Amino acid sequence: MSSIRKIKQISKSVPTIEGAGVHLKRAFGNNDVPLLDPFLLLDDFHSDNPEDYIQGFPWHPHRGIETITYVLHGDVEHGDSMGNKGDISSGDVQWMTAGSGVIHQEMPKGTDEGLMWGFQLWANLPASQKMIDPKYRDVKQDTIPEVVLDSGVKVKIIAGVVNGTKGPVQDIVIDPEYLDVTVPADISFLHNTKKGHTVFAYIVDGSGHFDHQKDKVLAQENLVMYDDGDSVHITSSDGPVRFLLISGKPLKEPVAWYGPIVMNTQEELDKAFEEYRNGTFIK
């Protein structure tokens, strides 16, 4: 018997400063483990003032996780200790598997008008893949399909499947779905989800009801966490609503986390930082 997911918890993103002084909004993070397993963190960096982001995220290590950067407006230049370099522009995604470790930097540039807007999601890796070789999936905007449903709902598919159309990011251990959804005014969106998977929505713009009971109108920068079920039911209010809809298979493993390194035990975490200090971090 199918069941529509009910809202488990609602929270609002919190102003935070990260990197060398980047002002952003944190939708969830360290304090929320294991509520959104396998996901660890979601940051919303959105400003038209370059002083809020231009200092960027200088050289820092990652191990044991995947970082997924999705840029709506602006550019993020990136490079790492292995000599990789690139640029993520408006509409692009970078899915980086840190694995055994990378030291990299990410420097936001913004548009000509100064607007910078994007999201960074952290997904955990299972113990069996914590120390795999690092790799990148650079996903350009023109490779991300957009499906327009009969209702007028538009869905950009970064990962997952909608109406038989697959997103370009595949073969990820947590079996993720990452959708950018825009629902026109006074329209409902019913979307099937995998039973047992963690599902959440983060509202990018506009407002709407995020369950079928329509108890509460939720607006921009709200995070909606769902109970288990087979589908989500979302209805816009008197204007369109845009949101990220993200899901993944929980790992159900212990988390030892400090800064940009996430392992399973404190011993593994201590070893990672010791290797970073003595120069043996990169494998």
Asked if pLDDT for residue 23 goes beyond 90, the answer is yes
Please name the residues in contact with 271: beta carbons below 8 A apart, sequence gap of 6 or more.
none
Please choose, from the candidates 171, 99, 102, the residue with its C-alpha nearest in 3D space to the C-alpha of residue 133: 99
Question: Rounded to whole angstroms, how far apart are CA atoms 201 and 246?
Answer: 6
Domain spans of the chain, in order of start: 7-278
Share of the chain above pLDDT 70, in %: 100
The pLDDT assigned to 124 comes to: 98
Report CA dihedral (94, 104, 132, 100) to the nearest 10 degrees. -150
Asked if pLDDT for residue 278 goes beyond 90, the answer is yes
CA 261 to chain centroid, in Å, comes to 17
The type of residue at 199 is: V
The pLDDT assigned to 264 comes to: 98
Mean pLDDT of 50-68: 97
The pLDDT assigned to 139 comes to: 96
**Which residue do the tokens 């990962």 mark?**
159
The type of residue at 93 is: V
- The three-point CA angle 93-96-100 to 5° equals 175
The pLDDT assigned to 93 comes to: 97
| C-beta neighbour count of 280 within 10 angstroms | 11
Tokens representing 129? 């893949």
Mean pLDDT of 141-159: 98
The better pLDDT of the pair 178, 1 is held by 178
The pLDDT assigned to 235 comes to: 97
Asked if pLDDT for residue 47 goes beyond 90, the answer is yes
Mean pLDDT of the chain: 96
86 — pLDDT class (breaks 50, 70, 90): confident
Mean pLDDT of 60-81: 95
The type of residue at 10 is: I
Q: Which helix (H) or strand (E) holds 275?
A: helix 266-278
253 — pLDDT class (breaks 50, 70, 90): very high
The pLDDT assigned to 64 comes to: 98
Print burial letters for 217-249: b (CB count within 10 Å at least 16), e (below 16).
ebebbbbbbbeebebbbbbbbeebbbbbbbbbb
The pLDDT assigned to 148 comes to: 98
Structural fold of domain 7-278: Jelly Rolls (2.60.120)
85 — pLDDT class (breaks 50, 70, 90): confident
Please choose, from the candidates 137, 58, 138, 60, the residue with its C-alpha nearest in 3D space to the C-alpha of residue 101: 60
Asked if pLDDT for residue 1 goes beyond 70, the answer is no
On the CB side of 74, how many CA atoms lie within 13 Å of its CA?
25
Q: pLDDT by residue (tens digit) across 206-248?
A: 999 999 888 899 999 999 999 999 999 999 999 999 999 999 9
The pLDDT assigned to 9 comes to: 97
Tokens representing 207? 């407002």
The pLDDT assigned to 229 comes to: 97
The type of residue at 70 is: Y
Tokens representing 6? 């009910």
